[in-house]
Structure formats: C-alpha cells, structure tokens
C-alpha cells in the first residue's frame, strides 16, 4: 500500500475518493437540511450561503440531496462490487486451480459476456428481474462476475505453479486450504486495482440505469435518478444537474485514478 503513495494518480485518486467518502459518511448522520424537506417559498433557488448548491423544484436543499444520493450510489456500487468479487473469487479460483475443460468453457463464456456493452445486458436483466434498487444491484453484480473471475483465474493459475504451493501440498494441505488460505492472500494486491475499476464501472452503470429509469425507483435516492429529474429543470435551475453530475464525475474519476495508480487499466 505504501509504495502506491509515490504514484501521482494514486495520490490524486485517494484524495478525491477520500473526500467523497468522508462527505458521504458525515451525510449518513448529518446533512445541512433534511434531503426530503420541501419548502414552497424556496423553489428553484440558485446557490447561496444558505443553500450551497441551491434548491430544486420542491424547494429541497440540493447539497443535502447530492450527499444522500452519492451515499446511495456508493452503497449500491459497493454491494455490486461485493457480489462480483465474491462470486468471481470462487469461480475464478476454482477454475484457475483445477483448469481443464470446465475452465476452458467458463472462460469462453466470460469472454463472450465481456464483449457486450454492459448497459445492454443490464437492460435485458432488468427486463427480466424488474426495476428497483435490489434488482439493479443483483443485475450489475451478476454482470461484474466475469471480469473478476477472469482476473482471479489468471492469477491463481500463475500462483499454482510456485514452490510454496508445491511445499504446502507436500505437507498434506488440501486443495481448498491451498487455494483459499495459501494462494488467495497473494492475489489481493492485484485485485485491489480491479476493485477500484469495478467501483468506477458500478457508479457509471448505476447512474446510467437510474437515469434511464431502469434502476433505482422513487423514493429511493440515487445520483442517476436525480439527474433525470434535474433535466426537466435544466433551464430554470441548471445548478441542479451540474452539481449532481459533478458528484458522479468525482466518484468515477477518483476510483479511476486509484485503479490506474495501482497499475490497472
């Protein structure tokens, strides 16, 4: 972890993501206003000392709503990455360790899935599962499995042929023990970069899907959903869309830089 700090991209990513997470964490307990409190006398006001990001068509404080929306988007991204990571670790670990025909078939399937734009697959899955917060987590989580499985598979296949693994076998360690206790800790550094890029993709996908009305539904908050609401007031209150969009960009940018700083794509 320490040697990453020398990397400019990593440092910039850490600062941006760190600030976003800090604001999100504070937002869980306190926001300047109740994000849902309406005020008929304060509709569509521009940014001011009282309302840093202005107010929306119901007179709600946009800063508070952006903080809440960023938190929701972040949590959805985290849940999505968690599903992809855990299932990807298991599938990629087993296929990388045992190899063989099943490995060949599963990796071909993973490659085919990865060839398609994720937004298209996500739309098909939402058509099957229905809209809503939990379905979008499930759909995106499932879509993230192949990329994690691929990376884990490659790394496990590499580690499998090391002397420390041969040594563990010689001592009588079972396959599962070797795979999950001996090998897995060694591929975590490689995975960190993939996790960061996973967050990056998850935020973008969730925001896109919710913007299209296929993801998070009212009254659940999300940055993508706010952006689609903000579009209706683009002329009267451009700050609504701009601040919401900037929050999305910062989340994506932060994770992208982190991943790049850790040697990812």
Partner 1 sequence: MSDRVLEVNNLSVVYKDSTVFGKRRDFQAVKNATFYIDHGEIVGLVGESGCGKSTMSKAILGMLDDAEITGEIKHYTKRPQMVFQDPHGSLNPAKTVGWILEEPLRIFGKYDEPERKRRVLDMMTRVGLEHELITHKPSELSGGQKQRVSIATALIQRPRFVVADEPVSALDVSIQGQILQLLLNLRDELDLSYLFITHDLNLCYSICDRVVVMYKGEIVEQGPVEEVYEHPQHDYTKSLLEAVLK
Partner 2 sequence: MAYVIKKTGVLIISLVLISLLAFLAFQIIPADPTTKILGTDYTPEKAEALREQLGLNDPLPARYLNWLKGLISGDPGISYSYFMPVKEVMQGKIQVTAALSLFSWVLVMLFSIPMGIILARFQGGHLERTGIVLNQVFMAVPPFFLGMLFTYLFGLVLQWFTPGGYVPFSAGFGKAMGYLFFPALAIAIPKAAKTAKLLRSSILNEMNKDYVRTAYSRGNSRWAVLRDHVLRNAMLPVITYLAMSLADTVAGSIIVEQVFALPGLGRLLLSSIGNRDFPVAQCIVVIIAFIVIFMNYLADIVTQYVDPRVRLN
- The single-letter DSSP state of residue 240 is H
What is the C-alpha separation between 208 and 174, in angstroms, rounded?
45
Total chain residues near partner 1 (CB under 8 A): 16
**From 49, 115, 170, 171, residue interacting with partner 2 (rule: CB under 8 A):** 115
Tokens of 167: 């040594």
Q: Which is nearer to partner 1, 11 or 182 (CB)?
A: 182
- Find which of partner 2, partner 1, none residue 78 binds, CB within 5 to 8 Å per kind: none
What is the C-alpha separation between 164 and 170, in angstroms, rounded?
10
**From 100, 185, 218, 219, residue interacting with partner 1 (rule: CB under 8 A):** 185
Q: How far is the CB of 246 from partner 2 (least distance, A)?
A: 9
Report 153-182 residues binding partner 1 (CB under 8 A): 162-164, 166-173, 177, 182
Q: Which is nearer to partner 2, 44 or 119 (CB)?
A: 119
Taking CA 221 as the corner, what is the angle to CA 218 and CA 226, rounded to the nearest 5 degrees? 85
What is the C-alpha separation between 150 and 96, in angstroms, rounded?
9
Q: Which residues contact 82 (CB under 8 A, 6 or more apart)?
A: 141
Q: How far is CA 129 from CA 137, 139, 175, in A?
A: 11, 8, 37
Binding of partner 2 by 72 (CB under 8 A): no
Tokens of 59: 């007179």
Binding of partner 2 by 256 (CB under 8 A): yes
- Find which of partner 2, partner 1, none residue 1 binds, CB within 5 to 8 Å per kind: none
Report 203-232 residues binding partner 2 (CB under 8 A): 204, 207-208, 211-214, 227, 230-231
Q: How far is the CB of 86 from partner 1 (least distance, A)?
A: 19
Q: How far is the CB of 9 from partner 1 (least distance, A)?
A: 25
What is the C-alpha separation between 152 and 158, in angstroms, rounded?
10
Report 84-103 residues binding partner 1 (CB under 8 A): none
Nearest to 206 by CA among 152, 161, 247, 154: 247
Q: How far is the CB of 166 from partner 1 (least distance, A)?
A: 6
- Find which of partner 2, partner 1, none residue 242 binds, CB within 5 to 8 Å per kind: partner 2
Q: Which stretch binds partner 2 (CB under 8 A): 26-34, 75-83, 126-134, 153-161?
A: 126-134
CA dihedral (37, 233, 123, 249) in degrees, to 10, reads: -80
- The single-letter DSSP state of residue 4 is G
Beta bridge partners of 55: 61
Q: Please spell the DSSP secondary structure of 97-112, one letter per residue.
A: HH-HHHHHHHHHHHHH
* Footprint of partner 1 (CB under 8 A): 162-164, 166-173, 177, 182, 185-186, 188
* Footprint of partner 2 (CB under 8 A): 9, 112, 115-120, 123-124, 126-128, 200, 204, 207-208, 211-214, 227, 230-231, 234-235, 238, 241-242, 245, 248-249, 252-253, 256-257, 260
């Amino acid at each position: 972890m320490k040697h990453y700090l020398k990397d400019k991209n990593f440092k910039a990513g850490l600062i941006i993501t760190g600030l976003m997470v800090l604001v999100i964490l504070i937002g869980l307990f306190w926001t300047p206003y109740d994000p849902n409190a309406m005020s008929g006398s304060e509709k569509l006001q521009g940014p001011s000392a009282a309302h840093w990001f202005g107010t929306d068509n119901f007179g709600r404080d946009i800063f508070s709503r952006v903080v809440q929306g960023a938190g929701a988007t972040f949590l959805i991204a985290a849940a999505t990455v968690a599903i992809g990571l855990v299932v990807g670790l298991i599938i990629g670990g087993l296929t990388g360790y045992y190899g063989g025909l099943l490995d060949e078939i599963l990796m071909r399937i993973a490659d085919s899935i990865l060839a398609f734009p994720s937004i298209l697959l996500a739309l098909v899955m939402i058509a099957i599962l229905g809209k809503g917060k939990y379905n979008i987590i499930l759909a995106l989580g499932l879509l993230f499995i192949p990329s994690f499985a691929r990376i884990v598979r490659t790394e496990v296949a590499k580690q499998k042929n090391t002397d420390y693994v041969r040594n563990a076998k010689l001592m009588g360690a079972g396959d599962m023990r070797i795979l999950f206790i001996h090998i897995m800790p060694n591929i975590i550094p490689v995975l960190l970069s993939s996790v960061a890029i996973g967050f990056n993709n998850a935020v973008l996908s969730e925001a896109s899907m919710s913007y299209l009305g296929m993801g998070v539904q009212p009254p659940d908050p999300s940055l993508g959903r706010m952006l689609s609401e903000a579009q209706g007031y683009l002329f009267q209150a451009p700050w609504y869309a701009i601040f919401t969009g900037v929050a999305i960009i910062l989340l994506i940018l932060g994770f992208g830089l982190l991943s790049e700083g850790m040697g990812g794509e």
